[in-house]
Amino acid sequence: MRSFHVLPLCALALLCAVLPAQSQINSVAQVPPMGWNSYNCFGSAVHEDEVKANADYMAQKLKPYGWQYIVVDFLWAYDNPPGSNIGSIPQRQLEDGSLVPWLAMDAWGRLLPHVNKFPSAFGGKGFSPLSAYVHGLGLKFGIHIMRGIPRQAVWAKTPVLGAPGITADMIADTSSTCTWNNHMYGLDMRKPGAQQYLNSLLALYAQWEVDFIKVDDLSRPYSTAEVEGYRKAIDACGRPVVFSLSPGATPLEMAAHVKAHGNMWRMADDFWDNWAEVLHMFELGAAWQGKGDAGHWPDCDMLQIGKLSKRGPVGPERYSRFTDNELCTHMTFWSLFRSPLMMGGNLPENRPMDEKLLTNPEVLAVNQTGAHPRQLLKTADVLVWVSDAADGKSYNVGIFNLRDSDASIAVPLAALGVKGKALLRDLWQHKDLGAVKQYRVPVGAHGAVLLKCTPAAP
C-alpha cells in the first residue's frame, strides 16, 4: 500500500526536476485575492467540518461577489481535540532526541493533515478530498505552512524525495528557528537537496490540487534564499499557486525582491480588532503605496469582521470589537488600498452587518478594479485616500474621520484636480449626491465614506 502512494509522487517530483520551470507568478492573483482563512476564528484547531461549513457559506452567499479562496491555516498536522483553544503548541524533546507531540508526517519528511481533525485524509489521501469538496463548490483551496523542514524529520533523518542519498538532517539550518513556534528548522538553501525538498512539498501540494499557500515566518529576518526557493518550487510544480508571505513586517527595503517572488506579502504582524492597529495600518499603507500591482499585493492582513476567536488564538470568543463605524473604515481602507481581502470571522455566524460589508459590489469593485491607490491628504483629524476608477475618468475617494466624535468633512475636489463641478456617488449607500462644486459629508467617529467622484463635463 505504501508504494501505491510513493511511486506517483516520485515520478511527479522527477518530472518537475527535469522540465524547465516557467514562472507562474504572473498567472495568478491578477486582482487582490478574496477569500476566508481559518486562523482568526479557529486558531490552530480548525476541523474539517468547520472548513466545509465556511466553504458552503461562501459558495451560497459570497461567491457571486468574487470571493473564492478557502484557506486552512496553522498546525493542520497537529492533533487538536475538538474544543481545544491552545495557540502555538510547542514540541518537547525526549531523552532520545525525538519530539512530542509527533506531527502527522510522511516518509519523506513532509507534514500531512492529521486524520483526527481531517478525517477524509485517512489512508494517505492528504488534503485531496477536502480540496475536491471546495473545488466542487466552484471555489479554490489553500493551506498555511511554516517555512523550512520539521525538526522531527531532522531527528528521524528522513530521505529527501528527488535527492538520492540526502536526508533531512543534511539540509536543515538548525540555527534558523521561529521565535514563536518550535516545530521547524530553516533550510540551508546552499546545501544539495534543499531545493529538492521544497520541490517535493509543492509536488505533494499540486497532487492535493492546492491553489494557494501561505508560508509563515519568512520575515524574521527576511529569508531571501528561502523565498526564492519556494518561488522555484511553485514554478516547478506545474500548477498555478498563489504565494502568500507571512507574517511579520516585510522590510520595505525588500520591496523589489518580494514583488519579484511573491503574490502577496504581509506588511505587519497579525492585525486584530482594535482602533490603534487601524491607525498603524494607515501608516503602513502610506509607506507601501506604489509597491503593488497586478499579481503582487502588499497585504494588510485578514478582515477582523464577524465572529472571532471561537477557539483562540487572541482573546475570548466574540464578535469583532470594532464599532459599526470602525468596521466600515476597516473594509473601506482594505478595499481602497487594494489589499487582499481574506475574511477572518466564522462565516456561518455572520450578522446582517457583516454580510453587508462583504457583499457591496460597488465597494468590492474599488478593490478589484481600482488603480494607483494613494494617500491624498492627512491631518490630525482627517485622512483621505484615492484611487483611479476603472472608467479612466473618475476617482474612488475614501474620507476617514480619525476623531473620536462625528464630523462634517469637505470633499477635497481641488486636491483631486477637479475644476468646476463633480458628480458624486456614495458607494456604501448606493446613492447619487448630484453635481457639486463644494460638498461636505457627515462622517461618524472613526468612520469612513467612500465616494466615486467624476469631473462633470464643462
Summarised one tens digit per residue, pLDDT across range 216-256 is 999 778 999 999 999 999 999 999 999 999 867 899 999 99
User: Do residues 305 and 416 share a domain?
Assistant: no
Single-letter amino acid, residue 391? D
Single-letter amino acid, residue 421? K
Query: Alpha-carbon distance 49 to 404, whole Å?
Result: 41
- Is residue 440 included in any domain, yes or no? yes
User: Do residues 363 and 385 share a domain?
Assistant: no
Structural domain containing residue 344? 23-369
- The stretch 401-407 carries a mean pLDDT of 98
pLDDT band at 313 (very low <50, low <70, confident <90, very high): confident
Query: Distance of alpha carbon 439 from its chain centroid, rounded?
Result: 37
pLDDT in tens, 339-357: 999 999 999 999 999 999 9
pLDDT mean across residues, the chain: 93
User: Do residues 48 and 113 share a domain?
Assistant: yes
Domain edge (last residue) among 369, 402, 428? 369
User: Do residues 338 and 387 share a domain?
Assistant: no
Q: For residue 277, what is its C-alpha cell?
A: 492597529
User: Do residues 382 and 351 share a domain?
Assistant: no
User: Do residues 339 and 278 share a domain?
Assistant: yes
Low-confidence winner among 190-204, 243-257, 260-274, 359-373 (lowest mean pLDDT): 243-257
CA-to-CA dists, residue 387 to 108, 133, 221, 320, 350, angstroms: 48, 37, 32, 28, 29
CATH number of the CATH domain containing 189:
3.20.20.70
Report helix, strand or coil for 244. strand
User: Do residues 291 and 315 share a domain?
Assistant: yes
- Is residue 13 included in any domain, yes or no? no
Q: What pLDDT is attached to residue 20?
A: 38
User: Do residues 293 and 217 share a domain?
Assistant: yes
CA angle, 41 then 287 then 442, to 5°? 70
Report helix, strand or coil for 301. coil
Point out which residues pair with 245 in neighbouring strands.
215, 265
User: Do residues 118 and 138 share a domain?
Assistant: yes
Domain edge (last residue) among 311, 346, 369? 369
pTM for this predicted structure? 0.94
- Is residue 16 included in any domain, yes or no? no
Position 100 pLDDT exceeds 90: yes
Single-letter amino acid, residue 176? S
User: Do residues 381 and 361 share a domain?
Assistant: no
pLDDT in tens, 110-121: 999 999 999 999
User: Do residues 134 and 191 share a domain?
Assistant: yes
The count of domains in the chain is: 2
Q: What pLDDT is attached to residue 88?
A: 75
Query: Alpha-carbon distance 126 to 300, whole Å?
Result: 30
Q: What residues contact residue 429 under an 8 Å CB cut-off, 6+ apart?
A: none
Low-confidence winner among 17-26, 50-59, 220-229, 405-414 (lowest mean pLDDT): 17-26
Position 1 pLDDT exceeds 50: no
- The stretch 424-451 carries a mean pLDDT of 97
Position 296 pLDDT exceeds 80: yes
User: Do residues 394 and 295 share a domain?
Assistant: no
